[in-house]
A and B are shown apart, each in its own frame.
Chain A
Amino acid sequence: MVKFRRELERLRKLFVLLATHKMGVAGLIMIGTFAVMAIFAPYLRTVDPNITGLPGNILQPPSSQFWFGTDNLGRDIWSQIIYGTRISLTVGISTAIVTVLFGSMVGIIAGFRGGRVGEVFMRVVDFFMMIPALPLMIALAVILGPSIWNIVLVVSLVYWPTTARIVRSQTLSLRERAFVEASRSIGATDFSLMFGEILPNVLPIMFAQAVVMVAYAIGSEAVLAFLGLGDPMTISWGMMLHFAFESGVMSRATWWMVPPVICIAVLILAFTFLGTAVSDIMKPGYREARGL
């Protein structure tokens, strides 16, 4: 437990360092804005995004009543955007947690145990990395059926090998270090070595990987929803674009397309910025170069 607290302290220092990185700060501000939108969605002059309007409200351009206009079923686009933030962040963060936890577990076991277990794990990882990700996600999602949790499952299934590979290579070098040898010599079990000694040391990398995964997952959700694999009752940004694209009135209703495209782009860039910042500040020499 003491070790974990020390690691948490290290994560806290990471955030302090992040405040010195321009891209990191920009990313955090953008993510914070979206998080506020998601949390306070009901109070931001929204209505139920699924409620279809009166016939007179169909495809209304932006106005004081409908800030972003309405879609071809008279639904309020502003509300869809705000509530869509919840879906993107939920999918992004849950996928990141699942992939990073599962990937790291596989990576640590494969790296620590080595031998035949490691070999088999890495074969599986190689297999997943050789198959084109998007077609695989489509083939899985179409079978599993439309729901955001299925999308989380599908995206996690496709992306965990990246984390597994990175964590494994870290584990391979950590396992030879003196402190692991020391613990082993006083009778530590493999289990406690893996999760008591190795895990705390790969936490920073897991964190960096998780940030990147959020961006991947948000992008993948948008793509899958755009391709018609989302749940029509949970309107995400990708789903909005799908509806607009399929409606056949795309050329008359640009106000319908622009907000979701911008939101997807900004949120993904925010996490990409944060990811770049995190990997930058974890590079050796960053602190020294800034005199910290």
Chain B
Amino acid sequence: MSLRGFVSFAIGKISGAIITIFAIICFNFVLFRMIPGDPVRLMFRDPRVPLEAWELARERFGLTGTLWEQFIAYLNRLFLHGDLGTSFWRGKPVLEVVAARIPNTLWLIILSIILAIIIGTILGAICGWRAGTKLDTSIVAIALSMWSLPGFCIGLIFLLIFAIRLGIFPLGGLYTPASGLSGLAYLRDVLWHAFLPVCTLIIWYMGEYLILMRGAMVDVVGQDYITTARAKGLKESTILKNHALRNAILPVVTLAGISLAYAVAGVVQIETVFGWPGVGRLMYEAVMNRDYPLVQGVFLVLAVAVVMANLIVDLIYGYIDPRIKIGRSA
């Protein structure tokens, strides 16, 4: 595949992502105007609000003028000023509220995915290598069960056992409040708080990688070159390391980045359960306060992040792996 081939592939992918993001933005515009009754009424729970304040609020939420004018004004504010509206509950710009939570979510999600890929791949390799044994079936059964449960259920089970019953981990939050810790002690405190959420996320995410790796391993074990290696009298561990793993790991690497939407679903649930001050927990808090602009803001940020991340993954794989390019452009 030539560079030109890649460029046209990239242009296709990028324009697809731009269209999707624009559609999400339009969707958000429609959604806010679908609220039964008047969104402003939901902000002022008190009916005795003076008419001027009412009008001011309508203007502030971009609800004046015809629908088309509203739409243009909405796009203007969004693209020229990065304005996602004002949170009912916090009274601050939505973007500011969301941005403050992004780092906490980002490192939680990245740490969990990386560990899930590593652990899932190792377990998958073991299962595939020992396919059909009791060890294999029990690991696969547990992993698949966890994978099909809603994440918050696993989170609640962990919370009940390790935080409430055994009391060895905190009930939630990012750090011990007012502990006065700093430096390394603070970092340790944060990691201690992150332990249960990360474990839950790993267990929840891992299933996919485990199954992929197991399948790849089972395929590889049946190949002629493994039989040849055995016939040469190589040690099992050498065969596993030098012949089987190397070939089996390829498809896993190629597919590793795919389920970001799934990862986001996990983060929303787990952050809520463990009171983790990230974007997911923010969405829950916004729901509980019926803070419509904030719910939508979080939705927009998460959706755009997933689309962008998928785009980047697609582009990287398209660049690295020539088969993908041919397969997709065909």
Contacts and interface: CB of A to CB of B under 8 A. Distances in A.
Contact of A227 (B34, B287, B299): B287
Contacts of B272: 226-227
Contact of B150 (A222, A228, A254): A222
A245 B36 CA distance: 28
Contact of B287 (A126, A228, A241): A228
Interface stretch (B56-64, B83-91, B157-165): B157-165
Contact of B292 (A131, A142, A254, A268): A142
Interface string A138-172: 11101101000000000000000000000000000
A250 B164 contact: yes
A264 B150 contact: yes
Contacts of B248: none
A126 B288 CA distance: 31
B310 interface: yes
Contacts of A269: 145, 148-149
A43 interface: no
Given A222-B153, A264-B150, A268-B148, A254 B160 contact: yes
B98 to A, nearest CB: 12
A268 B24 CA distance: 31
A229 B150 CA distance: 16
Interface in A251-269: 251, 254, 257-258, 261, 264-265, 268-269
A261 B157 contact: yes
Contacts of B149: 219, 264-265, 268-269
A258 B298 contact: no
B261 A139 contact: no
Contacts of A135: 264-265, 268, 283, 298-299, 302-303
Given A222-B153, A223-B150, A261-B157, A131 B296 contact: no
Interface magnitude class on chain A: 35 or more
Nearest to A244: B156
A261 B159 CA distance: 12
Given A228-B288, A257-B156, A268-B149, A223 B303 contact: no
Contact of B164 (A215, A219, A251): A251
A220 B23 CA distance: 24
A215 B148 contact: yes
Contacts of A134: 264-265, 268-269
A95 to B, nearest CB: 15
Interface string B136-150: 000000001100111
Given A135-B302, A227-B272, A143 B265 contact: no
Interface in B38-78: none
Interface in B8-38: 16, 20, 23-24, 28, 31-32, 34-36
B174 interface: no
B265 A130 contact: no
Tell which of B16, B260, B261 has the most Cβ of chain A within 10 Å. B261
A254 B165 contact: yes
Contacts of B298: 135
Given A143-B31, A143-B292, A228-B287, A130 B306 contact: yes
Contacts of A130: 20, 261, 306-307, 310
A250 B272 CA distance: 14
Contact of A142 (B24, B152, B160, B290): B290
A261 B152 CA distance: 9
A223 B264 contact: no
B130 to A, nearest CB: 21
Contact of A139 (B31, B156, B290, B307): B31
B228 to A, nearest CB: 29
A145 B150 CA distance: 22
User: Counting chain B CB atoms within 10 Å of each CB, which of A135, A215, A222, A227 scores highest?
Assistant: A135
B295 A138 contact: yes
B284 interface: yes
Contacts of B126: none
B171 interface: yes
Nearest to A220: B150
Contacts of A265: 145, 149, 153
Contacts of B16: 126
B303 A132 contact: yes
Contacts of B306: 130-132
B262 to A, nearest CB: 8
Given A245-B156, A251-B171, 12 more contacts: A127-B20, A133-B265, A139-B299, A215-B148, A219-B148, A222-B152, A228-B284, A257-B156, A264-B149, A265-B145, A265-B153, A272-B145
17 contacts: A130-B20, A130-B310, A132-B302, A135-B265, A135-B298, A135-B302, A139-B31, A139-B296, A142-B292, A222-B153, A223-B151, A226-B269, A245-B273, A251-B171, A254-B160, A257-B160, A265-B153
Interface of B: 16, 20, 23-24, 28, 31-32, 34-36, 144-145, 148-153, 156-157, 159-160, 164-165, 171, 260-261, 264-265, 268-269, 272-273, 283-284, 287-288, 290, 292, 295-296, 298-299, 302-303, 306-307, 310
